[in-house]
Amino acid sequence: MYKQKLNVHLYVTPICNLQCIHCYYEAKNTKFKIEDTLSIKDMKYIIEVLIDNYDAYFDIEGGEIFLREDIHSLFNSLDKKYLNRLTITTNGTIDFDINQEYLKYLDEFRISFEGNTNKIQKQIRGITLEKPLNLAKKLLKNKIMPTIRITIHKQNFNKISDIIDFYSSYGFKKFSFYEFISIGRGKNYNELSLNDNDFYLLANEIKNLNNNIDYKFSFPKHRVKFFKNYINIAGVSSLTIDYNGNIGICPWKIGQDIFAKFDKDNFLSIISNKNLIHNCDYCSAIRITNA
Ligand SMILES: C[S@@+](CC[C@H](N)C(=O)[O-])C[C@H]1O[C@@H](n2cnc3c(N)ncnc32)[C@H](O)[C@@H]1O
Ligand code: SF4
């Protein structure tokens, strides 16, 4: 049976223990009163029904996903065929029991870093590398290969090889790079954006990377001109579901394009009647990968 491709972003909590200067989601601090939130049962339903009816892949994040203590019960309740389609992203600072079965079956477990030095990590994330690096090492020890998730911006665009060398020296082999988007809190830090000259240098560095690790670079459509070889990932349907059940399309514009509120009784019919094809200036349209 043909199934329509669908990229889903599910934000499970609005709060975060960090206050990164570039946070496009504008995560609230931990004192924020969460009044209205999807239950674990709701999220399980959303994941299962969308994967059953679409060729759907999920990015599950927040805020900080592991501030929701009940999140493990969601993943532990899902069959492998659903877990295989989930990528989760964490800031790596929240302790949890990593002996959880589900971790083996996720599509990706991403941990966010800004570079390979405490200086850059502190400047953007307000923390050192220690905690997220320790989590990554613990996972590796448990035979789970985390993805090193890097946002590329003015402070690190010319250090990509150093960053890869640093993390691969610990045995990490999966990397995922996205470009900084000046949106949300990032709007106040336009100076982190890359100009065309910066991007030209970055594109050259990407072309000359050695292939000992798996890398994925995802860029918005205005970067097409810098590459001859890339995978076109534009124009796929997109769905963004916020922690409170607000449903929109673009993951970068949370709250700005809401067209429904989650209700189990009509969820699938509302989604299937909506044109979800999405092609904005922020979303990834090309991918350069050796994976
Ligand atoms: C919003 S965070 C949520 C997950 C988790 N709190 C974390 O930081 O890993 C998801 C990812 O978006 C990245 N990010 C945040 N602001 C961004 C921006 N303005 N442009 C591009 N990526 C951004 C983060 O570095 C992180 O890798
Ligand atoms: S980028 Fe992630 S860790 Fe940083 S403030 Fe936003 S949600 Fe929190």
- Is the confidence at residue 116, as pLDDT, over 80? yes
Closest-lying ligand 2 atom to the alpha carbon of residue 93 = 3
CB distance 25 to ligand 1 below 6 Å:
yes
Q: Contact 115/96 with Cβ under 8 angstroms? A: no
Give tens-digit pLDDT for 45-86. Answer: 999 999 999 999 999 999 999 999 999 999 999 999 999 999
CB distance 112 to ligand 1 below 6 Å:
yes
* pLDDT attached to residue 221: 97
- Please give the tally of structural domains in the chain: 1
Residue 114: name the closest of 96, 126, 97, 102 by CA.
126
Q: Which amino acid is at 55?
A: D
**CATH number of 37's domain:** 3.20.20.70
**Overall average pLDDT of the 90-109 stretch:** 97
Terminal alpha carbon distance of the chain:
27
Token digits for 287? 């991918």
DSSP secondary structure, 66-123, as one string: GGSTTHHHHHHTS-HHHHTTEEEEE-S-S------GGGGT-SEEEEEES-SSHHHHHH
Ligand 2, atom 4: nearest CA belongs to which residue? 20
Task: Tell me 256's DSSP state.
Answer: T
Residue 165 main-chain phi, psi, to 5 deg: -60, -45
- The whole-chain average pLDDT of the chain stands at 97
- Ranges of beta strands (E only) in 20-169 are 55-61, 86-90, 108-113, 147-152
Closest-lying ligand 1 atom to the alpha carbon of residue 186 = 19
- Is the confidence at residue 211, as pLDDT, over 80? no
CB distance 90 to ligand 1 below 6 Å:
yes
- Is the confidence at residue 95, as pLDDT, over 90? yes
pTM: 0.98
- Is the confidence at residue 210, as pLDDT, over 90? no
- Is the confidence at residue 150, as pLDDT, over 90? yes
CB distance 29 to ligand 2 below 6 Å:
no
Residue 291's pLDDT band, with cuts at 50, 70 and 90, is: confident
**Overall average pLDDT of the 155-161 stretch:** 97
* pLDDT attached to residue 212: 84
CB distance 23 to ligand 2 below 6 Å:
yes
Rounded distance between C-alpha atoms, residue 63 and residue 38, angstroms: 14
Give tens-digit pLDDT for 231-267. Answer: 999 999 999 999 999 999 999 999 999 999 999 999 9
Percent of all residues in the chain with a pLDDT value above 70, rounded to a whole number: 100
Instruction: Tell me which ligand sits closest to the C-alpha of residue 18.
Output: 2
Domain that holds residue 39: 5-289
